[in-house]
A = this chain, B = another copy of it.
């Protein structure tokens, strides 16, 4: 007997028929002798409907009220899913963030989980029932409702799996696993059987969008085996597991791209200690995530003591941060501030980079052969990212994918299923 967490996203609970389907799947797992905890997102479209209402009321809705509003989406699907399980003859109880409790900080709309008590979940399981947990939501120290940000239900699922010591956390989604790259962009993309947390982390953060990045961090921290799979079939998906278990002898695991970032250039900033810290400290204080940061010495400048600072922020944050950036630009003596939204970040990710030299050079060569200009580069232990003009997205992704042999790489076998 295993303890299984099953998370279903908005599409998987998008209609009442699909909710019944989710209920049937959970019951089938229970009938095979397992304890089952379901995590559900809001029905697809519901969160957007609620956000739209809020934005019709006011241009900048208060974050606390936004969370109280948005959390209703998951509350509705948790209650309906519990009813659906009951209607099929199996006991079930919905559990909300403030009931469990899923304790978070007070960073409304992007809260982080601090602690989860498994007591209420075990109460439900002990009665032979299925626990249906509302994803995406928590509660802060004041009892205020918080939400975990887009895709937060993945994090709820993995954090609960960690808190109750689940044997596996199954993430059901509308795709059947993690691919070597976006199949819509690159027809030769293949499903990955097994990938390490580290690789998934880089792929998720770069826009693979199958798993919320924080959920992978939590899974890695607590060693939760995550199985990303389709809610519309029984075909095994992709296992996200520890490095020692990932076994794949490939240098590059996947190619990702991210069109969600905008480039900001602060031209000819005074080049003295503390200036860069001031810029990014101010952005951090506003909870603005900055992705790439590149500082070039501004050799062309008449003033030797100045430098160009380039960084990227989420396009969705850009309008909100523009006034702050303009003000920062003035205060650090920038000659000009430029924005560019027509960019894409393409990245290659792979644990194998650690032990293989020359991967970066090979990436730059592949792009150069397609005459694609690289505007900025950033690297990590297992990832290399290049900022390029967005019109080259497809060309770059395909060239990199096949150039690194992902169209024909050998696959490690999937691990045995606990179910």
Contact = CB atoms under 8 A, between A and B. Distances in A.
A80 B99 contact: no
Nearest to A144: B99
Nearest to A93: B64
B68 A94 contact: yes
Given A64-B93, A72-B76, A75-B69, A83 B98 contact: no
Interface string A52-64: 0110111101101
A79 interface: yes
Nearest to A43: B53
B83 A65 contact: yes
Contacts of A84: 57-58
Most buried by B among A56, A76, A86: A76
A294 interface: no
B57 A19 contact: yes
B57 A20 contact: yes
A143 B16 contact: no
Nearest to A71: B75
A82 interface: yes
A66 interface: yes
B83 A79 contact: no
A30 to B, nearest CB: 18
A170 B107 CA distance: 36
A145 interface: yes
A157 interface: no
Contacts of A87: 57-59
18 contacts: A16-B53, A20-B57, A53-B80, A54-B80, A57-B84, A58-B84, A58-B87, A59-B87, A61-B83, A62-B86, A64-B93, A65-B82, A65-B86, A66-B83, A68-B78, A68-B96, A69-B80, A72-B75
